[in-house]
Chain A
């Protein structure tokens, strides 16, 4: 009874959710039967309901691949590295920008750091290759001319360098974009807190550390949880474009493998199975981290 009353009281909230809910049911849940593709030998002509059922065959195929553990290792290490190195930087950038007094300088830095988001992956990787080209690249020429290295720069062919290139070029491209949400959150900080802190003689660093950072903590935690839910989701395009025959031992990740083996023949079912495998692990990770966050006294995402 009480529940019904509480529903009635807040009936407006349900109206607010309704349009999005209709969308989700219509375009996410109605086509959901497509996951069946992962469990059959799907043939487009036969349709999803008419193709032969093979159960977990494609999952077994994936897990038994010779390179399975290599793929898992490469994928995990890339995304953990991206997370550890890449997650804090937009926060630092936002905090640093927030304490800049010159409005003009702030605006310039903000806008410029955001621009790389618009560089397509093809161009990004293209530039990496041009800059780091073993002999003709600007980096190689520079290092050789000041005598730091002798001979060609082997960064691109070095399997150990791959993850650094991948992660740091990603940070270069994404830090400004990533800081947007934190800058917005920082604008919600009550200025009177800063005024009071100043009166107490707090330095700017202390203000950033004790006022700004805690006040954006909910946003940080939310984004951290969301990132953990994407740990196996290393996208294929960039890794694929950065691959060469000498760095394949570290640059082959789940998505590039699936993409390339799909090229050899249409492998709807195999890619669906691997996708589902990734999703389930990601979802479990998300739920775990979410629970952990709640235990630590933060708001989870649900």
Chain B
């Protein structure tokens, strides 16, 4: 059908400009990404002195060697995968439920409750009282802590609510009500099936957020068997700044500059090791950004 419609001249121009624009963007984004890859295989001093431009210089796997030699790495991977799955499931469910309720103008006291959620976006007690609270709840060294803390994101709730408001007509509920459908039933049976796109977005946001997070794990987990990947990688990297401090004080051993140097070569490899797996979830999520879902379900 679509191909049958002949493209007007204006459309040809539009398409050409569009494709050219996107191709240019693609190039601008691609080169630095490519650079990260070749830098991770190159001699760090060649990287630092501008010799690595199109191909790796001084090809070596020392950086990766150092990363993969680290015993904690695989434990970290396993933990991160578990935390990401758990955290995403929890966060996405809470976000959808809350956002849907907030999207309903007929909810009495909505303004007040929303305000209750918005204030903590700006004013919070800080780390110390939160730490004391978590400790009091005996949640130190409990993997659930890193899953639960931060599972409610008001930012996500607000954009999800906007999505509900602008895509799901209020009349649909009126219709469902006549069929004897309550709020909760309507939410699960009608709203959720219509919201695949926003669910996909939320999954991407939460999963990536959880995957990259380390602070809560740093503070609340002591057990080495529980720490996530980002914390492991942070340990590998932090040697650089630490050794710098050592050197500043002049108490470090003689070959510290050398070790520092190795840390420099690891930087690029770490990005690849840590982000490749999570990078892959977006293409899957894209499948759900399909047009016409709305219409199909309404008709059906």
Q: Do chains A and B touch in the complex (CB under 8 A)?
A: yes
List A188-218 residues whose CB lies under 8 Å from chain B. 188-192, 198, 201, 203-205, 215, 218
Tell me, yes or no, whether B60 is within 8 Å of chain A by CB.
no
Pair B125/A96 contact, Cβ less than 8 Å: no
Tell me the bound Cα distance from A3 to B32 in angstroms.
Answer: 58
Pair B162/A219 contact, Cβ less than 8 Å: yes
Pair A34/B122 contact, Cβ less than 8 Å: no
The interface-forming segment of A57-65, A71-79, A121-129, A155-163 is A121-129
Tell me, yes or no, whether A116 is within 8 Å of chain B by CB.
yes
- In the complex, the chain B residue whose C-beta lies closest to that of A95 is B18
Pair A127/B35 contact, Cβ less than 8 Å: yes
- In the complex, the chain B residue whose C-beta lies closest to that of A183 is B289
Q: Which residues of B contact A70 (CB under 8 A)?
A: none
Tell me the bound Cα distance from A81 to B32 in angstroms.
Answer: 23
Q: Take A97-B22, A198-B5 as given contacts and tell me if A276 and B294 are in contact as well, using a CB distance cutoff of 8 Å.
A: no
Q: Which residues of B contact A141 (CB under 8 A)?
A: 50
Pair A34/B124 contact, Cβ less than 8 Å: yes
- In the complex, the chain B residue whose C-beta lies closest to that of A301 is B158
**The one of A16, A107, A282 that contacts B122, using a Cβ cutoff of 8 Å:** A282
Tell me the bound Cα distance from A301 to B122 in angstroms.
Answer: 15
Tell me, yes or no, whether A91 is within 8 Å of chain B by CB.
no
**The one of B15, B49, B279, B292 that contacts A191, using a Cβ cutoff of 8 Å:** B292
A7-37 vs B: 1/0 string, CB under 8 Å? 1001111111101110110111111111101
Give me 18 other A-B pairs in contact (C-beta within 8 A), A111-B279, A123-B268 excluded: A12-B182, A20-B97, A30-B133, A31-B132, A48-B128, A93-B25, A96-B22, A112-B33, A118-B271, A122-B237, A136-B49, A172-B32, A183-B286, A185-B163, A186-B289, A189-B291, A204-B15, A219-B162
A213-235 vs B: 1/0 string, CB under 8 Å? 00100110011001001000000
Q: Which residues of B contact A238 (CB under 8 A)?
A: none
Pair A115/B29 contact, Cβ less than 8 Å: yes
How many of chain A's residues touch chain B, expressed as a range? 35 or more
Q: Which residues of A contact B267 (CB under 8 A)?
A: 122-123, 126
Tell me the bound Cα distance from A114 to B268 in angstroms.
Answer: 18
Tell me, yes or no, whether B106 is within 8 Å of chain A by CB.
yes
Tell me the bound Cα distance from A275 to B132 in angstroms.
Answer: 20
Main DSSP-derived SS at the B contact region: helix
Tell me the bound Cα distance from A277 to B178 in angstroms.
Answer: 51
Q: Which residues of A contact B182 (CB under 8 A)?
A: 12
Tell me the bound Cα distance from A171 to B237 in angstroms.
Answer: 26
A-B contact pairs, 19 of them (CB 8 A): A11-B183, A17-B113, A19-B97, A24-B120, A28-B124, A32-B125, A35-B124, A99-B14, A100-B18, A115-B33, A123-B268, A184-B201, A187-B289, A188-B167, A204-B14, A268-B128, A275-B126, A286-B122, A302-B111
- In the complex, the chain A residue whose C-beta lies closest to that of B54 is A138
Pair B104/A13 contact, Cβ less than 8 Å: yes
Tell me, yes or no, whether A120 is within 8 Å of chain B by CB.
yes
Pair A116/B204 contact, Cβ less than 8 Å: no
Tell me, yes or no, whether B47 is within 8 Å of chain A by CB.
yes
**The one of A12, A34, A110, A229 that contacts B129, using a Cβ cutoff of 8 Å:** A34
